[in-house]
Chains A and B, each alone.
Chain A
Amino acid sequence: MKTIEGKYILTDVLLVEDSPGDVRLTQEAFRDANLLVNLHVATDGADALAFLRRQGHHADAPRPDLILLDLNLPKMDGRQVLAHIKEDDALKTIPTVILTTSEAEADIVRSYQLKANCYLTKPVQLDEFEGLVKSINDFWLTKAKLPQQRVSLAN
């Protein structure tokens, strides 16, 4: 939970997901788990990078504290998006969690090679999907220490 001088402030999460159903489920699960999460959605890889680089209509986009990235995406796939994030000095410190239906060993290995912070597979069952989003919220947004915006931008 992010605080500044004792006040809670919103945590920005970027969800890169092309399935409207999964977007909706993720939004609902975050709403139940943590009202202080501001969830932004990009529906393809090119849009995700434009958001992260504040290009086009994303000129005022916040820098996300956490990125949830699907692998199979239109325009530019998640592997390419991940490679771009982790090669970019301004972006690579943002924890990037792969969230995909793929359980293929090749995808898991490739994602860790590309420096994904962790790899999660989407459960098929609704309540398990919800539970996983809650685990992500609990682990990454309450337990893990994330780089502060100020510090990570200054370096």
Chain B
Amino acid sequence: MSTEVLLVEDSAGDVRLTREAFRDVNAAINLSVVSDGVEAMEFLRNQGEYIHAPRPDLILLDLNLPKMDGREVLALIKADSHLRMIPTVILTTSDAAADIAKSYQLQVNCYLSKPAQWDAFAGLVKNIIDFWLTKVKLPSQRTTQ
């Protein structure tokens, strides 16, 4: 079974960079992308056009998003007993102390800020893949459904 990652990101450029970095490191990872918070929740709850969406093994979540922002999405994920076990990593341009503190209060698994340089960004995506998808033990799909 392939590893499923959900990227919640509204910047087309960042989506493209993340896709390329994933492809370079491990083509077996299936990266799904949604571009706002409402879509993210529909994807995770298999609603509407996402009725057959896979359950992600890892969520990469931007904070500043259209319709519903990443803080609200994070709060909904961590308040939902079916979703809260999915490791959720904030990946944002913000390095404001208030955003970092708030995210950890909302029980984010980890907070990362996007480097401005694209090669550093690609490097960070590789670090995420290496740490979260090879080192970390994730709950298996079977036991978390």
Interface residues of A (CB under 8 A from B): 86, 92-93, 95, 103, 105, 108-109, 112-113, 115, 117-121, 132, 135, 138-140, 143-148, 150-152, 155
Contacts and interface: CB of A to CB of B under 8 A. Distances in A.
Nearest to A155: B101
A109 B111 contact: no
Nearest to B109: A117
B95 interface: yes
A118 B124 CA distance: 18
Interface residues of B, number: 29
Nearest to A98: B137
A63 to B, nearest CB: 13
A120 B137 contact: yes
11 contacts: A93-B105, A108-B139, A109-B144, A112-B85, A132-B135, A135-B135, A138-B127, A143-B112, A143-B127, A145-B111, A146-B100
Contacts of B143: 105, 109
A144 B112 contact: yes
Interface of B: 84-85, 87, 95, 97-98, 100-101, 104-105, 107, 109-113, 124, 127, 130-132, 135-140, 143-144
Contacts of A151: 97-98, 100-101
Contact of B101 (A93, A138, A143): A93
